[in-house]
């Protein structure tokens, strides 16, 4: 079962595998993972293989992103959606989407657009959003808040997350009918402790073939 995993900002294309390796290795018994690269490279003193990336930026002149402030622009969002659409077309179909942080917000937008009838984004069977939030700016939040999203969803977030406060993730979860939430005591990361792994596998088991 293929699962597409959009990276988060400001991690690189390679980071989701390292960040959540215990989870990925456990799931690999049931699922295969593909991780399309974020569209834009952010400025930073990193070697090419570690270059930080973002799906889109919230300022016109700086390659930065803030999830908690109303952006002046959503620069690069069109390209980000194009990257995801291309991955879905060329590498899909996918049974599920897994997104972390900005990648979770993007995955939610993709599903909202798909539910609204955008042919570029066929709805997956499920979605997993870790440290997600309702994106702001240029109608993005409205696209998520317009109506409930009807696909099965698992929402994971930390009680002490200082990057994406838990109330942001709760708000995003409220936009999905029958949303399942999994919390942990930590911050901004994909938890891989036994309780969370059990919750992931319980959720995913219903889709295993």
Q: Is the pTM of this model over 0.85?
A: no
Nearest to 100 by CA among 171, 181, 15, 180: 15
Q: What angle do CA 102, 104, 107 make, to 5 degrees?
A: 110
Work out the percent of the chain whose per-residue pLDDT is above 70. 61
Catalytic residue among 8, 95, 161, 184: 161
Q: How many domains would you assign to the chain?
A: 1
Catalytic residue among 37, 143, 166, 188: 188
**pLDDT tens digits for 125-157?**
899 999 998 887 765 555 666 678 999 999 999
Identity of the highest mean pLDDT range in 1-5, 17-21, 169-173: 169-173
Mean pLDDT estimate for the chain: 74
27-31, 162-166, 171-175: least confident range: 27-31
Catalytic residue among 101, 131, 153, 169: 101
Q: Residue 154's domain spans which residues?
A: 2-205
- Strands, E assignment, the chain: 2-4, 32-34, 40-41, 53-54, 96-100, 126-130, 153-158, 180-184
For 48, other C-beta atoms within 10 Å of its C-beta total 7
State yes or no: is 32 an active-site residue: no
Q: What is the CATH number of the domain that holds 105?
A: 3.40.50.1820
Q: How far apart are CA 125 and CA 123, in angstroms?
A: 7
State yes or no: is 143 an active-site residue: no
Strands 53-54, 40-41: pairing kind:
antiparallel
**pLDDT tens digits for 43-86?**
334 344 444 556 767 666 666 666 667 767 667 777 888 888 98
State yes or no: is 205 an active-site residue: no
């Amino acid at each position: 079962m293929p699962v597409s995993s959009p990276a988060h900002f400001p991690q690189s294309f390679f980071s989701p595998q390292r960040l959540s390796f215990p989870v990925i290795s456990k799931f690999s018994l049931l699922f295969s993972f593909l991780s399309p690269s974020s569209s834009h490279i952010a400025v930073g003193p990193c070697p090419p293989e570690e270059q930080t990336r973002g799906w889109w930026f919230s300022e016109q002149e700086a390659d930065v992103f803030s999830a908690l402030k109303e952006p002046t622009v959503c620069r690069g969002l069109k390209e980000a959606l194009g990257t995801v659409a291309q991955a879905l077309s060329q590498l899909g179909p996918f049974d599920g989407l897994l997104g972390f942080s900005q990648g979770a917000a993007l995955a939610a937008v993709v599903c909202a657009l798909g539910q609204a009838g955008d042919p570029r984004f066929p709805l997956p069977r499920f979605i997993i959003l870790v440290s997600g939030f309702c994106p702001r700016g240029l109608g993005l939040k409205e696209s998520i808040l317009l109506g409930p999203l009807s696909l099965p969803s698992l929402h994971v977030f930390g009680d002490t997350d200082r990057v994406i406060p838990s109330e942001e993730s709760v708000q995003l979860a409220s936009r999905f009918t029958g949303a399942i939430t999994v919390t942990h005591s930590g911050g901004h990361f994909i938890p891989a402790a036994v309780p969370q792994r059990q919750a992931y596998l319980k959720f995913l088991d219903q889709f295993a073939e």
